[in-house]
Structure 1
């Protein structure tokens, strides 16, 4: 009777451990794909930030030019 109980416990434990092992292996095998996805996301974020910075600088320059044009004194002849 004890042998049967031990067999059932070991069988359930083995099943549980195999399931956990499969999940861990899946995580390890999918890690490079996840890292590449994160790399691509960060590249996209960098591109958006670079574009926003360029547009901001362009706007600042345009505003400075507008202000300088306004400051030029009018010549009355």
Structure 2
């Protein structure tokens, strides 16, 4: 009976250990993929904001992210820093 319990325990441990690396790999983003809620810096007030909540714009082909419409308007007017 003891041998059977030990064998079952070993089988469970082997299953858990062999499946963990696959579960870890599934959660990691691929090298070219950005995380969903990456922090980006507002070029006007220097505040960090979640990319998903930022006001997006573009200048010279480069993406810009702002914390608010006010900062985006200041950038448009040429006010680079608060």
Tell me the TM-score normalized by structure 2.
0.46
**The structure with more strand, counted as a fraction of residues:** 2
Tell me the TM-score normalized by structure 1.
0.48
Structure with higher Rg: it is 1
**The structure with more helix, counted as a fraction of residues:** 1
Greater RCO between the two (CA within 8 Å, min separation 6)? 2
